[in-house]
Structure 1
Amino acid sequence: MTERHELRWGGFAGFAFVVLAVVAALMPGLPPRVTASADEISSYVADGQGRLMVAALLWAVSAALVIWFAAAFAEALREREERSDVHIALMAGAVLLGTAIFMYGVALAVVANGLTGRDVALTVGVFQATMVLNAMIGLAAAVPLTAAGMGVLRTRMLPDWLGYVALAAAVISGITALTIFATSGSFVPGGSYLPIVTLVAGGIFVLSASGYMAREHLPSAVPMGQMRTQ
């Protein structure tokens, strides 16, 4: 059984990550698709310039929080199965995800900052790149979610259903990244609720795991393959 304040703070970081990420995703409103007209894109950026800047800051903070949460979770996995590489994959994936989220926040800030006097074509180009980056976050999220799901099922440190939730969220996240291949229709990057669906899927796992972590204890470990005697 793990009982440390670091575990609790990691749980609080998970809660804060989900809250900030949801607010950051919803604050600017639904963006236009990358195939939208230049006028539509430039109007969206101009009308929501302030909201985009705030959202950029929230995304940057949430990037650090998700790494903090994953570090505490990975440490709990390591304590239960030191010879496994799952906790390393989780930590590496979390750094990849945090970096992708931070870069998305930077891209949003670049889109919104210095809009006055900037060529419309440049604004449109940066916006399109930002929406593609947003879609690619789904692929980055799939890595730590897969590792977390495998870790839960291997160590039994959380209920099995939570491991399956993480794996399902990983699949959904990976599918979202495939939208970068769409050149027309409702699945092109931007103008879609798919990134929010990905956030919700992963958020369910993070919130549930954070709830256990915030109580400063996790169930005792039962290695994979060992029959439960209870």
Structure 2
Amino acid sequence: MSDRLWTRIAASGGIFYVVLTLLGNNVLGSGGDGPDMTATRSQIGAYVGTHPPTALSWAALYIELLGILAFVFFLGSLWSVLRRAEGEHGPFSAMAFGAGLVSVGVKIASLPAAIAALYRAHEGMDPQLAAALLDMNGVSFVLTWAIDAVLLAATAVVVLRTGALPSWLGWIAAVLSPALLVGVAFATSLGFLPYVLYTTLWIVATSIVLIRRAGEPQLGETARPAGEPVPVR
């Protein structure tokens, strides 16, 4: 396969991430039907005790995991574009890539707690323990908002300084980044917030732009000295 095709496959990771995680978590999995972080211990214990894992729930979990792994491909594609635009020694493209990888790590690390709660539910489980395990999963999800805020902020800096991607993607990222940080502080009272959904839409839009631009020379890539940012047009 050509290099351009491989580049497009990597860039499509953002779309696969959103589609597979939504399919695994919200369509096939329990998704929003499960208790949130405001639920009491008795409510969580009752939910865990009456929702033993099934073949479908394990399949949903596996699909969600594949989606999270697909995000790594998207991060590699995004980092490649940002790095070429910012220059070899630019810090912000590395920040975006690093924050994305940390977010992936936290997402994967949050799964065992929820799996343990559901896997052992049929044997009987203390409601306090069940609540602690599911809360670990929920808190980890909220923490990824702060990490994703760094990803968005670093991307916005490079995009708005260099024109590596359309400026509207940069401005949206610049707005979503502080919104996600604020959302962390109010997660337990407000729950799921719209700008979390907007972030997933930003990922899809960025993925589409990266796919369409795969194999094309970047703005000013051949004319600028190595390490010098591309001037904003």
Cα RMSD after superposing both structures: 2.5
Q: Where do 1:44-63 residues align within 5 Å?
A: 44-50=47-53, 53-63=58-68
- Secondary structure (helix, strand or coil) at the match of 2:122 reads coil
Q: Which amino acid aligns with 2:70?
A: L
Q: Which amino acid aligns with 1:193?
A: F
Gaps of 5+ in 1: none
**Structure 1's 24 and 173: CA in aligned 2 closer, same or farther, altered over 3 A?**
farther
Deviations 1:151-176 (A, max 9, x none): 21122122111111122222222222
Conservation of the 8 A alpha-carbon contact between 2:16 and 2:67: yes
Equivalent residue number for residue 46 of structure 2 = 43
**Structure 1's 47 and 148: CA in aligned 2 closer, same or farther, altered over 3 A?**
farther
Equivalent residue number for residue 93 of structure 1 = 99
**Structure 1's 99 and 167: CA in aligned 2 closer, same or farther, altered over 3 A?**
same
- Count of residues paired in the alignment: 216
Q: Where do 1:1-230 residues align within 5 Å?
A: 4-26=4-26, 27-30=29-32, 31-50=34-53, 53-82=58-87, 83-120=89-126, 121-179=128-186, 182=188, 186-187=189-190, 192-194=191-193, 197-215=194-212, 216-217=214-215, 220-221=218-219, 226=231, 228=233
Gaps of 5+ in 2: 221-227
**Structure 1's 217 and 150: CA in aligned 2 closer, same or farther, altered over 3 A?**
farther
Q: Which amino acid aligns with 1:72?
A: S
Equivalent residue number for residue 223 of structure 2 = none
Deviation of the 1:147 alpha carbon: 1.4
Conservation of the 8 A alpha-carbon contact between 1:150 and 1:163: yes
Conservation of the 8 A alpha-carbon contact between 1:157 and 1:218: no
**Structure 1's 140 and 24: CA in aligned 2 closer, same or farther, altered over 3 A?**
farther
Deviations 1:42-90 (A, max 9, x none): 2323444436544433332222211210111101111222231111111
Could you tell me the TM-score, scaled by structure 2's length?
0.80
Q: Which amino acid aligns with 1:34?
A: M
Cα distance in structure 2, aligned partners of 1:52 and 1:123 = 18
Cα distance in structure 1, aligned partners of 2:232 and 2:95 = 26
